[in-house]
Structure 1
Amino acid sequence: MKHFLFDAPLRPGAIRLLHTGTGVLLAIQALFLLPDVSMLYGPAGIVDQALVHGRTFGITITDIVRGTAHLIGDYEQHFVKLIAVLYIALATMLALGRLPCVGIGTLLAIHALWHTSGSAFSYGVDYLSATALFYCLCTPRARPMWHAPALRLLQLHLCIIYFFSGLAKALGATWWNGEALWKAVNQPYHLDAVPGFIAWLGQFTWLWAVGGWGVIMLELGYALFIWLHRLRPYWLWSIVGMHMGIALVIGLFQFAAVMILLNVVAYHYAYHTETEQPVYPSNKKPSRLRWAVWKQPHHVAGDTREGGI
């Protein structure tokens, strides 16, 4: 167990990608929401917060705004935008690798207040983004000894996510007969009209059933076959392809991007065997001796080319 968690031959480049990718995706999402953030999340937004207050858990942005109303007066809408700007700034610093643990914790807290504490507009991507932030918090640049166990935990976490997602699909009938897949590509909120090619494929009901079986097998088999060295690339890139299809056909771009990021971090760059620089190189100019050591390949315990992990 100690070797599996702490002495695993996992590469540091995965941590750089996790921090950078998470920061970029969160900043992009917040930038798109910024013009309408007051309308969506403000106390006078399009959704009456009193109606959804019973669905919330913990403290929300609206609760903070109401609690500070006697201090900010008529500037409630500006206060919500100020929180969004702070969120974007912290996400940008995370992407640049300049955000310490305290900053990552603050970003995670704002994300929870803004997205995952009962908002009427939250969905799965907000919780997955919080998951990515949690793993960023668990992998501080000053604690490289935490990186391997955090990556292992992320790997196991993804296995659990896909296994139960596949199990939920397998327990119903709509994924076996293709109905769920057909409905997914015919959602009205992304495409103005179903492309002619997809409409033409609608006559082949067996094709949609086979596609549904493929999704079930891909997700159920993930927890097993992703650990086998020879099958890992095929399973990983099949999952990435599935999420790219979700983005293009259903329009869930942010969700697909977060899932692709977590998969690539956990099962591609974690095993990347090319020469890498330190996770966060020092700003000081190294001496010639230090530079020569810095550029040497990292030696890992065990050979990742032979069998599994």
Structure 2
Amino acid sequence: MKVIRKLKNSLSDYFINTKDTSTDFIPFFRITIGLILLFHFISILPDFNLLYGMKSVIPTDIHTIYLNKSVILFDEIIIFLNKITGSEHLSVILFKTLFIIFCLLIIAGFYSRIFAVLLLILQVAIVKSSYYYSYGVDFFSSMSLMYLIILPSDEYFSIRSIFSKREEKRNYLFVKTTFQIHLAIAYFVSGIEKLSGYNWRNGESIWKAIHLPNFSNDFNLNFDFLGNYSSLVVIIGWSTIVIELLYPLFITIKKTRKIWLFLTISLHLGIALTLNLYFFSAIMITWNITNFYFIKTHK
């Protein structure tokens, strides 16, 4: 009973009744997410025409065959821009330019919430138009933009805060609490999914991930030695399950919060180094630091 009561008080103190006075997480989240989206977009520019549009390797019609038609697609935006530019080629260039400009304006904090809305439209358009290329970072990018829209993201350490008088202090606690619960649920569900199958429990998923056909990591790490230490692969698999499954519990307890934050960030650094998933790891680390590092309360 004491353990349950202590956990209840911890959850109540952190997720519900905490009087968090720190606003540092807001500009950190805005700037970091803006940079991640910017560099992620720049990284795909050399192959942009091969990935998106009717002339891409996989045409948009195939990507969107089962998609809800209410979603604005990349081709539809290009058709709209054609009315301005008069050329499909110029419209694609304008799309790319607008995407980069919106990222820069978000980073600078110049009406970031408005430009986050516009960037979300562009970002969702290319994600939905390339369904078979999309993965975790794309969906977390969309959700990040949603939080930038909901949070007073341009009221702290921003160009807008310099040139405009700050409005009455907003209560962002509910949004941050929702953000924290969202992250906790995401890890818990991921942990449940891994636990329900046998691939993570016996280490098979780890072994397959680091030995994908035609896969080579940027650091030329050789994992063949793990074939002689199968128990180590199993330990890595179970460690991932435990970190994710128990995340909602230990991230809320003040004494274990920093430890679990360190373990979670280490997990994503490992993913980045071994699987080259730099942007996905960066965005997940950003979410963790935003929600559970910048905590400053008063009694």
The TM tier, using the shorter chain, reads: 0.7 to 0.9
Q: Match of 1:65, as an amino acid?
A: I
TM-score (norm 1): 0.80
Unaligned runs of 5+ in 1: 274-299, 303-309
Residue of 63, 79, 86 corresponding to 2:76: 63
TM-score (norm 2): 0.83
Distance 1:8 1:247, change over 3 A: same
Distance 1:28 1:19, change over 3 A: same
For 1:126-145, list aligned pairs within 5 A.
126-140=138-152, 141=155, 144-145=169-170
Q: Match of 2:57, as an amino acid?
A: I
Which residue matches 1:301?
Answer: 298
Unaligned runs of 5+ in 2: 1-11, 156-166
- C-alpha deviation, 1:64, in angstroms: 2.8
* Per-residue Cα deviation, 1:13-51 (whole angstroms, up to 9, x for no partner): 000101000101111111122233223213312222222
For 1:83-98, list aligned pairs within 5 A.
83-98=95-110
Specify the SS of the correspondent of 1:186.
coil
Residue pair 2:20, 2:298 contacting (<8 A) in 1 also: yes
Q: Which moved more, 1:246-255 or 1:3-12?
A: 3-12
Of all paired residues, the percent bearing the same amino acid is 27
Which residue matches 1:44?
Answer: 55
Aligned CA RMSD, in angstroms, stands at: 2.5
- C-alpha deviation, 1:95, in angstroms: 1.1
Q: Which moved more, 1:45-54 or 1:158-167?
A: 45-54
Equivalent-residue separation in structure 1 for 2:217 and 2:266 (angstroms): 23
Specify the SS of the correspondent of 1:88.
helix
* Per-residue Cα deviation, 1:228-275 (whole angstroms, up to 9, x for no partner): 111011100100000011011011110000000000000002x1x4xx
Residue of 199, 208, 212 corresponding to 2:233: 208
* Per-residue Cα deviation, 1:267-299 (whole angstroms, up to 9, x for no partner): 002x1x4xxxxxxxxxxxxxxxxxxxxxxxxxx
State the aligned residue count. 273
- C-alpha deviation, 1:192, in angstroms: 6.7
Residue pair 1:40, 1:47 contacting (<8 A) in 2 also: yes
Specify the SS of the correspondent of 1:262.
helix
- 1:24 paired with 2:21, answer no
Q: Which moved more, 1:137-146 or 1:98-107?
A: 137-146
